[in-house]
Amino acid sequence: MKSLVILLFSGLITGCRGNSSHSLPPKLLLVSFDGFRADYLQNYEFPHLQNFIKEGVLVEHVKNVFITKTFPNHYSIVTGLYEESHGIVANSMYDVVTKKHFSDLDDKDPFWWNEAVPIWVTNQLQENRSSAAAMWPGTDVPIHNTTPSYFMNYSSSVSFEERLNNITTWLINSNPPVTFATLYWEEPDASGHKYGPEDKENMYRVLKEIDDLIGELVHKLKVLGLWENLNVIITSDHGMTQCSKDRLINLDRCIDNSSYALIDLTPVAAVLPKINTTEVYNKLKVCSPHMNVYLKEDIPARFHYQHNNRIQPIILVADEGWTIVLNKSLPKLGDHGYDNSLSSMHPFLAAHGPAFHKGYKHNTINSVDIYPMMCHILGLKPRPNNGTFGHTKCLLVDQWCINLPEAVGIVIGALLVLTTLTGLIIIMQNRLSVPRPFSRLQLQEDDDDPLIE
């Protein structure tokens, strides 16, 4: 009986899948709009993005990784690893052993990236599959000797239209087919830094432009016939918070700049002492009530930011909205990089496609959970990572998931059914007990029968 049900069921499923497009391998386009703070979605209008969400899923808050900077977070999304485990621990790094430097302008040495394997490499190791990138940190670097089959060298001057045109061309025309693709755009990060997120007028304009780009993306996918079968994730690396000239921490007021080297400055400073570490630490410790000063071994475990040679002996973490400077004026009106438990640092995630539910809203996941979800969609075996696939099950059509309100509903429903059943049984028993004497009479009559015979 059980096997019959399973047979019927699998027959149903293969019957639905049997046709054309579904037999092709699943495809996924991963899109990042840099610095898209989660609550922009509540505070501004996004007609195109809201339409995308209406037919797909939304995760309102994605808890990202510390430090909440661009390169580290983009690499966590595609590896599922905390920064200490994937090795891109900042946008500016120094390795004491090799004496190598890394910056967002000088990022092409695979040395920095090889501590992890991003999903585009794993995808390409599968037979008959290739990956493509219209930019994303690391996609123009031969990581483990492998770049995506199709990629662009990073250049901020390439328009969104050109990135979109080229990535969709690759998604359509390539053999072996491109099954994983990335698309990266610098806004609203650049404007968030320039104006600060509290500049409603300028942010309104910039965010409307972003929404129009999302409109173009969806339109293009529909025109090309990709819309129904392509899975699309739109997300971001981090949020943005307002800074102020009244919230400056000037390290030069506290310590002689010759006693240490600064590898990274704000809002998380990476300090490499040139003299006795304890002395440097003691001076910085009392420098400002608006930043936390940690010896590497004392960095809180919740940051998962300790076990890597590229993390310097002392780090300074500014409070939200505070800027660390060296005797200079305020460099930017908006910034990110702060504590990843701050909701202003969180991005969102929206997704659409055959793998995702339609019209489902979810409260929160971690950015490291995106990787195992993407591997599941693509049918790839995930590499060891810090994400939890279970956190994303509610987003996926092929997974069974109950969230808390549903669970409460089911329990109440079950109790109602039980109560009703019990009631019915009691009534039935009462009804049955009425004709009892009667049946006894009948029985007695029956008993008499043999006598008659």
State the catalytic residues. Answer: 70
Contact pattern for Zn ion over residues 334 through 373, marking x by CB under 5 A: ----------------------------------------
What is the phi/psi pair of residue 273, to 5°?
Answer: -65, 145
Closest residue to ligand NAG, judged by C-beta, is: 384
Q: Give the nearer residue to ligand NAG in terms of CB position, either 111 or 204.
A: 111
Nearer to ligand NAG, 326 or 432 (CB): 326
Options 32, 123, 166, 312; binder of ligand NAG; rule CB under 6 A: 166
Size of the site for ligand NAG (CB under 6 A): 24
Among 14, 43, 257, 422, binds ligand NAG (CB under 6 A): 257
Q: What string marks each residue from 109 to 148 as x (binds ligand NAG by CB under 6 A) or -? A: ------------------xx--------------------
Rule CB under 5 A: choose which of 83, 84, 189, 211 binds Zn ion.
189
Interface residue with ligand NAG, options 327, 341, 403, 422 (CB under 6 A): 327
Provide the 3-class DSSP secondary structure of residue 451.
helix
**Least distance (Å) between residue 104 CB and Zn ion:** 10
- Please report, as residue ranges, which positions from 278 to 317 form the binding site for ligand NAG (by CB under 6 A): 278-279, 304
Q: Examine residue 433 and tell whether it contacts ligand NAG (CB under 6 A).
A: no
Surface-to-core class of residue 149, CB atoms within 10 Å of its CB (0-12 exposed, 13-18 middle, 19+ buried): middle
Q: Which of Zn ion, ligand NAG, none lies near 153, with the C-beta cut-off 5 to 8 A by kind? A: ligand NAG
Computed from CA positions of residues 96, 97, 101, 107, in that sequence, does the dihedral angle turn out positive or negative?
negative
* DSSP symbols for 426-450: HHHHHHHHSSHHHHHHHHHHHHHHH
The bridge status of strand 241-242 relative to strand 93-95 is unpaired
Whose Cβ is closer to Zn ion: residue 124's or residue 344's? 344
Strand stretches in 152-274, DSSP E: 178-185, 230-235, 241-242, 248-250, 260-264, 268-273
Site string for ligand NAG, 73-102 (x = CB under 6 A): --------xx--x-----------------
Binder to ligand NAG among 43, 98, 103, 276 (CB under 6 A)?
Answer: 276
Q: Are 152 and 129 in contact (CB under 8 A)?
A: no
User: Which one of ligand NAG, Zn ion, none is in contact with 384 (Cβ closer than 5 to 8 A by kind)?
Assistant: ligand NAG
Strands 260-264 and 268-273, bridge-based pairing:
antiparallel
- What minimum distance in Å lies between the beta carbon of 160 and Zn ion? 18
For 184, residues 6+ apart whose C-beta sits below 8 A from its C-beta are 31, 32, 34, 74, 134, 135, 136, 137, 163
Residue 237 interacting with Zn ion (CB under 5 A): no
Phi, psi of 36 (to 5 degrees): -90, 95
Tell me if residue 267 falls in helix, strand or coil: coil
Piece of 41-49, 194-202, 229-237, 380-388 that binds ligand NAG (CB under 6 A) = 380-388
Regarding 107 and contact with Zn ion (CB under 5 A), the answer is: no
From the list ligand NAG, Zn ion, none, partner contacted by residue 189 (C-beta under 5 to 8 A by kind): Zn ion
Residue 321: left (phi > 0), alpha (psi -120 to 50), or beta? left
Compute the residue count for the chain. 453
**Cα-based angle 351, 400, 119 (whole degrees, multiple of 5):** 45
Pairing relation of β-strands 248-250 and 323-325?
A: parallel
Q: Which residues bind Zn ion (CB under 5 A)?
A: 189
